Structure 1
Amino acid sequence: MQRRAKGRHDDVEANTPKEATRKSSTRRLADLALALVAAGLLYAAARSGASTPNDQNEMQQPLAKVFAFHRDEEFLLGDWLYWHCAVFGCSNVVVMDHASTNPKVLAILEAYKTRGVTVETFRGAFGEKAEALSRAMRARADEARLLVPLDVDEFVVLEADQGFVADARRIRAAFAASASSNEMRKFKFSSRVAACPAPADDGDALGGGLHVVSSGNVVADAAKRPAVVRAFSPPTQTAMAKTFFRGGPDFLETDQGNHFGKIRRDNASSQDAMIDNRNFDRFFARTPLTLLHFSMPDFDTWYAKVLQRAKAYKFTMATQCAGVRRGQRYCRSFQKLRGGAAPREIARTEYADVCGAIAAQQRETGGARQRLQGGLGSLADVLLRRPR
């Protein structure tokens, strides 16, 4: 009887407030355990590459769209497209073709269109390059987090202590850092220049009849692909370095050389004529990204470019080159070439003089031979391995 009564007493006690509190605590512990399990699953999903709903917009929107304006740039176009497709994806590359007529150039463009590159034909004047690029960029401003205008002799790489990094993942990570920042200024590339091809016996050059070092061996390069040859940069980043932009409605326009550009947050004091090395930090954010600028390729390419640029800028033999703000070096070379009428010997002397000026500037800034490094190896090696 006592045992039965005790049992009845236990049954009654189970319905007391004390037992209700115990059950409530048990439920809270169970809920906490479930929450911890759910958190663990979310963490594991994130580590495995899955995305949360808040990440979806960022993942669906491309990191960057790259824009280039060119006309018959046979020397570098194929390599430029190959490299930037590798870094950003062909669907994020837009080429404004200035009514090219070179059959090889047209074939390259057609081949890359089938891979997803957007090619738009522009039939206006070269002097309207900035307007053409700006229209294309505004039309796609909401399609990417960053808008990157380039020339086809400029290759995106990453600054490093001992030279440059040509690793696509690290390059994208640097762009992503800019895109994810709260920075509302325009972004600056570092000022880097790839100098003229060195003599063939130097072992560090690439160009018509020249060579490039690959893994310690000199490899002949009949295709004349670019290589880093005594690249240099100024001691400090300058206002004339190239610029890229945040996507979205804040973007307004780029300029003829992609040095400055405009966004809605700019004001009258941000006009390019008023920006110099003393105040450009007010308008631009520095980045570790840089451009290898192959401004001095082989002689024939350089010669054709001088005449083409002079015509585009409407230079004549009477132009006062010292007062020219844009394209001054093309103006001077054009006049020394006598508008194309000078003998080839004079033209080759001018080419050597311009290369000499670059070498002198390189020595003054302490620029040394700098090679590409990283997971993809040197840019030259990557391009040399690329099938034609």
Structure 2
Amino acid sequence: MRNGVNVDGKISSDEIKNTSLAIISPRSRSQSRGWSLFLPNRAILLTLTAFLALLGEYGMSDAANVANMTSQDGKVGYEVDTCEDMNEDGLNYERLKRRFNFLEPDIATGSEVFDSREDWNNEDEDEDEESDAFYDYQYDEDEDELQHRLLYPSDGDCFNSDHELCTRSDFFDAYDCDTVLSQPRPIHNESTWMLLRGAYIASVGAENASIQYPASTKSGYQVAVIVQETKMAGRGVYAAEDIAKGTRIWTSRVQSAHFKTGQSYRHFLNSMGNDLVCDLLIWCYPIFLDDNDESSVRIACDLDEGSFVNHADGTNNFGCDTEAVKEFEHEGGCKENYFAMRDIMEGEEL
């Protein structure tokens, strides 16, 4: 715990001494000191001192633990209120960016949640200046907030089910994803992609699916690419030919699976039953289909080799070319298409 209480719930000997004296009134403390001068044996005084220390070590430790529990309960309660606020007020992207900063809270189990606001609030720098810097730094975590909203809906369907995994930590624990993802993962072949596409269509229904039904083997790549292991970032996508600047490389319009609700997303994950779940948990991301419509938020999972691209954020060779995209505005523009930001040589990673 923070705020002056030791992490293990214990209190130092100086704290014990100060606490023991604090619970005695000034007059009583004076009388105690005067009375101790007439003790026939100093052993009695030592025994009393040891007793007070023992009382402080155990009694105060219990009190600290109670305080810890109260603080933790309040923390989880705050997060539940946060979810309710998000659903009552509606999803406001700017409000999310400015208001929240928790990461994937496991509300169902009440486990402790990492909240970097505590570290931020404990800094000695000017609060206003740090606030701006903090939110600029945390901008990317807005995606976690959007995904959180879908994974923890207000209707409580996630928490009323006792036969399906519910929270992200449920899935990570059930499939031992920490171990799975720490080891080299396979480069999926076409049969695996078809399995994922079929499971998606089955989970949401053909009429609600954002990909072709029946599932096709077509990829979203518009150029020749190859997937292989990278030295530092696991699987990656490499150009299998020279690609000219402005060329459309990949589109999400072919195999990007969209989930409108957390329930449908969780049902899809539960239907897999193997460690592909671990891949999906790190691949899938939240999007707005329409920036002006908050109800258009979806969880998207690219069920082709597009999921293997590392750092597809427009800062390297793969992103949104503002000139080339004009030809594809009627096909989703930069929201659904990625282009060569410069000439790319065969063998370069995208």
Same fold (TM over 0.5): no
Normalized against structure 2, the TM-score is what? 0.30
Q: Which has the higher contact order (CA 8 A, sep 6+)?
A: 1
Normalized against structure 1, the TM-score is what? 0.28
**Of Structure 1 and Structure 2, which has the larger fraction of its residues in helix?**
2
**Of Structure 1 and Structure 2, which has the larger fraction of its residues in strand?**
1
